[in-house]
Amino acid sequence: MQSATSSRPADQHAVLTVSLAVLGISLFVQQSITGLQYLAFLIGVGLGITLMHAAFGFSGSWRSFIRERDGKGIRAQLLLLGITSLLFFPVLGQVFPSIQSGAALAPVGTSVVVGAFLFGIGMQLGGGCGSGTLYTMGQGQVDMLITLTFFIIGATLGTAHLHWWLSLPGYGSVSVIKHFGWWQALLLQLIMLASLYGLVRLLEIRRHGRINPVEWQIPKPEITQRLIHGQWPLWWGVLGLAVLNLATLIVAGYPWSITYAFGLWGAKLWAAVGGDPGSWVYWSSGYPEQSLNSSVLADTTSVMDFGIILGALLAAALAGKFAPAMKLTRTRVLTAVTGGLLLGYGARLGFGCNIGALVGGIASGSLHGWLWMVAGFCGGIAGVQLRIWLRIDKPMGIQQ
């Protein structure tokens, strides 16, 4: 995660082009798709801007903690989980009966453990998570274009095999909100998150003698400049993502998710070249079947993903960071391909990525979110070791 203020001039041509694209797509979706789909698209744009301006990622911060015990990013993620839970639990606990929203509940089982572990490895090899891949691709990083392409292929393969993984041992879904009641479950959840926060802080202090703070304040004269052009303090990112996730819950009816759309895009492309994904178990009934046979613009997750890419592109152009020059080595291409496949396959098996399963699951009170966190982090440790083995990173204890 970066901390410097953006000093490069805005890319005005890109800002104008993307702004017109956002306006045009919003109007088109409003006209041609029913419901509140255009609002979902605009929420996606907001998420893309927030992710990009706050440089809010999961892969790099997990790696920083595993390698150097720098817990700033992980503590920001725990704050995000806590604030999102505070916003979600009353809504999902039917405190406001007029808001009809569903939780991100999924089964606790073998598929989640295996999927999250593979996803954790993929995060370190591919260079991004679900949200990170989208926003860095929107920023114009060519290597992430490769990761995203194979993310889509992996997710599509995952849909072909999911029914087999679901036949392995599992418990079923567990909602702590239904089990304990919303405020008791919230209290329990906040205690667990606070304990984890304390543990991360302790390990950080033990290594460095101090903690790397999650920034909050910036000098007053810089506020407008930083709001438009970045770089945002990490706390702004935490609050922005939590509020926009709540907006997603209210508008779309379920928490923010990303990777369902990747499988859908892959299945549609497979159908376009003559394949028959409709004959696969996954796509043969329910919402998957319906979305496969409808316009991609009717799928809320897809529309939000398009918004995230364009929002990140807009933010990158405003910060003068769009399409950075880069060196694309053979190793980087290999890790982008492998990482992308693991990310996609893992996300399908794990019922979502770091956003849909980790943030959405935990903030919805679903036990599978916690299981995903443990298995995903173990995968992250394996991924960090693989990076050392592939000589992408130096061995532990040696500065990068």
Partner 1 sequence: MKRKQTRIIVGTAISAAAIAVAIDHTRQRLPEPGKQLASQEAVIIIDEGEELPGENNGDCGKSVSHGRRASPCSL
Chain residues 178-207 in contact with partner 1, contact rule CB under 8 A: 178-179
What distances in angstroms separate CA 327 from CA 8, 135, 137, 394, one per listed residue? 21, 19, 15, 19
Which part of the chain contacts partner 1 (CB under 8 A), choosing from 2-10, 162-170, 182-190, 209-217?
162-170
Of 65 and 260, CB closest to partner 1: 260
| # binding residues, partner 1 (CB under 8 A) | 71
Site for partner 1 in 119-148 (CB under 8 A): 137, 140-142, 145
Of 66 and 303, CB closest to partner 1: 303
Instruction: Work out how close the CB of 328 gets to partner 1 at its nearest, in angstroms, rounded to a whole number.
Output: 6
Task: Give Cα 272 to chain centroid, integer Å.
Answer: 28
Residue type (1 letter), 368: H
| 46, 57, 107, 339: residue in contact with partner 1 (rule CB under 8 A) | 107
Of 231 and 259, CB closest to partner 1: 259
| 122, 154, 277, 356: residue in contact with partner 1 (rule CB under 8 A) | 356
| 103, 214, 242, 359: residue in contact with partner 1 (rule CB under 8 A) | 103
Fill in the per-residue mask, 210 to 229: x = in contact with partner 1 (CB under 8 A), - = not in contact. --------------------
Which part of the chain contacts partner 1 (CB under 8 A), choosing from 119-127, 169-177, 238-246, 333-341?
169-177
What is the per-residue burial (b if ≥16 Cβ within 10 Å, else e) of 250-277? bbbebbbbbbbbbbbbbbbebeeeeeeb
Of 160 and 239, CB closest to partner 1: 160
Interface with partner 1, residue 19, by CB under 8 A? no
Site for partner 1 in 37-56 (CB under 8 A): none
Residue 7 has phi, psi (to 5 degrees) of -120, -10
In whole angstroms, give the CA distance from residue 239 to residue 233: 10
Residue 328 has phi, psi (to 5 degrees) of -105, 100
Of 30 and 175, CB closest to partner 1: 175
In whole angstroms, give the CA distance from residue 164 to residue 330: 34
Q: Residue 109, CB half-sphere, CA atoms under 13 Å: how many? A: 18
* Peptide bond connecting 231 to the previous residue in cis, omega within 30 degrees of 0: yes
Q: Which long-range contacts (CB under 8 A, 24 or more apart) does 200-203 make?
A: 200/65, 200/71, 200/74, 200/75, 200/78, 201/71, 201/75, 203/69, 203/71
Contacts of 63 (CB under 8 A, 6+ apart): 124, 380, 383, 384, 387
What are the start-end ranges of the E strands in 209-273?
none
Interface with partner 1, residue 252, by CB under 8 A? yes
Site for partner 1 in 267-326 (CB under 8 A): 268-269, 272, 281-282, 284-291, 293-298, 300-301, 306, 309, 313, 322-326
Of 144 and 239, CB closest to partner 1: 144
Of 76 and 251, CB closest to partner 1: 251
How many CB atoms are closer than 10 A to CB 216? 11
Instruction: Work out how close the CB of 159 gets to partner 1 at its nearest, in angstroms, rounded to a whole number.
Output: 8
| 3, 94, 100, 225: residue in contact with partner 1 (rule CB under 8 A) | 100
| 10, 87, 157, 174: residue in contact with partner 1 (rule CB under 8 A) | 174
